[in-house]
Amino acid sequence: MGNLQSSTSPNSSDPGGASIPPLAQDFRQQADEQARLRNSCYQSSQEAWRSGQKDQAKVWSIKGKEHDQQMRILNERAAAEAFAVNNRGRDLSEIDLHGLSVDGAIGAVKQHLGKCRKNGVKKTVVITGRGLRSSNGVAKIKPAVEALLREEKLRATEDPRNPGCIVLELDVPTSSIGWFIEKACVIM
């Protein structure tokens, strides 16, 4: 999960300052504890199974599944809280994906694009962050969003002032649609 830090400005489009809100951090920490308990239960289940205690193995497995379900619920709550706080006060001109999983971010972008199209928005900024808090500092959300935008055949450019932001043009004529990055280098 990386180092989760709070920001005094949750609506900042600076990925270095963007954050996971405190309540979302609490949910993530609780989810991490549920994951630890799940793993412990699964390990106990395996040990019981290997020692021939099949009934006890099943009990531990069921407990592990319960902790797994709680972990998932808490992670969903964390993502919902992060998204709500980080996007509070924003209109359709931008969306902030900080605090979301890759799947959550992709779903949010798809929903955002639908709203933009429905409301005639011509340009929007997707704040992905640069991946500084991702495990090993390797971005996960930005490459996934870039792949989605290529798939959707949208014109997108990396914000030259902030590499954690992608600017989308939604009103580009069909003949000039494509993935563009810095100085109109086409990548298809």
- Within 10 angstroms of residue 111's Cβ, the number of other Cβ atoms is 11
Closest CA to 161 of 185, 116, 115, 130: 130
pLDDT band at 171 (very low <50, low <70, confident <90, very high): confident
**Contact between residue 97 and residue 127 where contact means Cβ atoms under 8 Å apart:** yes
* Cβ-based burial of 180 (10 A; exposed 0-12, middle 13-18, buried ≥19): buried
pTM score, two decimals?
0.71
**Contact between residue 158 and residue 166 where contact means Cβ atoms under 8 Å apart:** yes
**Alpha-carbon radius of gyration of the chain:** 20
Residue-averaged pLDDT of the chain = 83
Predicted confidence (pLDDT) per residue in 3-29, tens digit: 333 233 333 333 334 567 899 999 999
What CA–CA distance (Å, rounded) separates 182 from 161?
Answer: 11
Q: How far is CA 112 from CA 87, 92, 140, in A?
A: 11, 7, 19
pLDDT band at 30 (very low <50, low <70, confident <90, very high): very high
| Per-residue model confidence (pLDDT) at position 7 | 32
